[in-house]
Structure 1
């Protein structure tokens, strides 16, 4: 019996490693030359560095992330401050502040001028709690009033990063679940964590090593062209290089993007609208004492990340910037970095990465199109951050879906 995992993004890697951990024979196929999907690293000759396609931040309370990294022996590769803290700067007013939540679930930090949001009152925080009572199908601005210092200076930038969509019109259901799993659990659940050596070194390469050590077959540049099925059973997988007939006890985890999955499984509802992310990378060292992560308001840049060999910038909800020439985007982003970090205006070596279909559009309408992991075929399950995980398209959601797919496939074996 074999578990065939198609797609080597994080959802596929999560499913494959979980199945291999149970002693199953695993075959992992990926259409691209490299594993990782939208969570990848590569050497970029323009900037002369190995860079990540984007800055993927996770949080200390992301349980699926930590379970996955523990499995593949890479949990120590996530780094971050011992406690939750989020520096911000408003480029319009030049005001800077740092949100420092206390670890426990009782949020006394909101009453502290040194830890909280400038200009905010307790009533402003309390008003945000209405999001937790949101009804299915509502947008955020239908569940709460999207205004005031807490919204502008904390909730909006936080939700924009988590949802990768304009928070006001995004799904209140998804936003509420993000809040339940982070802000509502206390600062111990949302201390920021970043990969020390890049996405591939933390999330991808150790997973491939783990699979190879357990005898898994890994086949890159191998595209799945079709699925042959009869009644409720998948009979064969048709790859570009060969047709793979399935034994009666074989199982398939389909961890391909939604637009590919929709072609392979006609009639399956999938999200069909997407949102981009814009990332800029600059080969320059940050000044001594720079914070690893800084949130930016009223600029093009939204989050600035200071790594040992570069400064990187992320812009979420970036469809509106996809037609902007890369040189223009680089200069605009660098101008914001200069203001925040007090650097020289001369543009250093740079690269701009446009991830055009980074995530499904996190609206209530698109959320309703997310399928379950189970399909009409008893030997095929789905994985991906775009299936119905209850979360927006995040690393946590991708790995949660992979773990679920592995459990469903494993249950089918027993």
Structure 2
């Protein structure tokens, strides 16, 4: 067993590593540069809305096994809510058609043979076009690897994988898309029940993790930014960490889990190659109660919006791959999105409710084949330094599941 493990970064990857280590009885010190933990998966009080909101709307699925294990360990699994089957509502704002995709629970995809369960205007044979993604090579984009019929692509594949990859399928990695399909659609609907942190990301993933760590005797240090890692002259290990007051030596059996954003990791670790292209996400929040019967989430086709989420007293929208919206004025964009929300949810568009718009310019690394090749593994050439983060080589895109899995992997390597 190692001595003290310093986990640098309290995003989900760092929290996962710290929780796994603390569960094993390892002494853990968790360092976070920000005033609060959670990284990009955090909640905060918004004065405009007079409510606690998440910095982004994150969807997880029942088949995300690492996520389920993590929330079970920290005692928050009950805060994830959603339907008891794999149902996804959609609306086409151009034609005003509405439909619900209903996946069959087992491994056999009976749903594609049911015209009331699959996407309108598609045939069962259309869905076979997804199969090549399961054996795609590292250089292929989704549209390179598959020949998807237009109706299926526009009404399911594009909105689904734009959200999963935070990249348009035309540039998105086919290999990463295939990994997601292998863990969700292949096992069947039982792995695809949508789950939402209905009380907020903090309540599900962050606060209970910190409470768990405290109960296990871990030290948590907020606003404690690492300035430099000092490496031994023989190149074998990290020998000290500088948090701004000079190098703090590590014991021979101490270790470091570096769970910071890729650009920060690259500045701390010599010659480390990391993803260096990013994609934006826009989230809009409207202070209006969802109408009766509103689905918990609605996929939007032929709109600027991608997905609408219904929360208690609030409707929220997520737009992935949103770099093209970064320069539009807040007021103009918020109004455009609201008009789509009103149509999709069949509620009056006037007056426009109190709103908030959050643009995250570097929300995730670009999930392209080229950027995927820049993702490092967890192991480094230093025996007591490992990496964690959704940007490391998890095989998955930048997701909650990928972040947690990377944290577990790092903890297992210490």
**Smaller-chain TM-score bracket:** over 0.9
Consecutive unaligned residues in structure 1, runs of 5 or more = 410-414
SS in 1 for 2:18: helix
Q: Determine whether 1:375 maps to 2:377.
A: no
Q: Determine whether 1:363 maps to 2:365.
A: no
Q: Determine whether 1:271 maps to 2:275.
A: yes
Aligned residue number for residue 208 of structure 2: 206
Q: Aligned residue pairs: how many?
A: 409
Structure 1 residues 290-325: Cα deviation after superposition (integer angstroms, max 9, x where no partner): 111000001111100010121100000011111112
The Cα of 1:111 is off from its aligned counterpart by 0.7
CA contact (8 A) 1:124 1:149 kept: no
Give distance in 2, aligned partners of 1:112 and 1:144. 23
Aligned residue number for residue 152 of structure 1: 154
Q: Determine whether 1:333 maps to 2:337.
A: yes
Give distance in 2, aligned partners of 1:116 and 1:304. 20
Structure 1 residues 15-52: Cα deviation after superposition (integer angstroms, max 9, x where no partner): 00110001111100000111000000000001111000
Give distance in 1, aligned partners of 2:252 and 2:394. 28
The Cα of 1:260 is off from its aligned counterpart by 0.2
Q: Determine whether 1:9 maps to 2:11.
A: yes
Aligned residue number for residue 317 of structure 1: 321
Consecutive unaligned residues in structure 2, runs of 5 or more = none
CA contact (8 A) 1:276 1:317 kept: yes
Q: Give the alignment partner of residue 77 of structure 2, picking from 75, 82, 90.
A: 75
Give distance in 1, aligned partners of 2:330 and 2:31. 33
The Cα of 1:243 is off from its aligned counterpart by 2.9
Structure 1 residues 376-410: Cα deviation after superposition (integer angstroms, max 9, x where no partner): 1100100000000000000000000000011111x
CA contact (8 A) 1:124 1:148 kept: no
Give distance in 1, aligned partners of 2:288 and 2:398. 31
Q: Determine whether 1:123 maps to 2:125.
A: yes
Q: Give the alignment partner of residue 163 of structure 1, picking from 162, 165, 169.
A: 165
Q: Determine whether 1:31 maps to 2:36.
A: no
Q: Determine whether 1:84 maps to 2:89.
A: no
SS in 1 for 2:99: strand
Give distance in 1, aligned partners of 2:243 and 2:387. 18
SS in 1 for 2:361: strand
Aligned residue number for residue 62 of structure 1: 64
Q: Give the alignment partner of residue 240 of structure 2, picking from 216, 236, 242.
A: 236
Q: Determine whether 1:407 maps to 2:409.
A: no
Q: Give the alignment partner of residue 389 of structure 1, picking from 360, 382, 394.
A: 394
The Cα of 1:344 is off from its aligned counterpart by 1.9
SS in 2 for 1:269: coil
CA contact (8 A) 2:262 2:275 kept: yes
Q: Give the alignment partner of residue 343 of structure 1, picking from 344, 347, 350.
A: 347
Give me the CA root mean square deviation.
Answer: 0.9
Give distance in 2, aligned partners of 1:241 and 1:212. 25
Give distance in 2, aligned partners of 1:399 and 1:16. 11
Give distance in 2, aligned partners of 1:51 and 1:264. 32
CA contact (8 A) 1:36 1:200 kept: yes
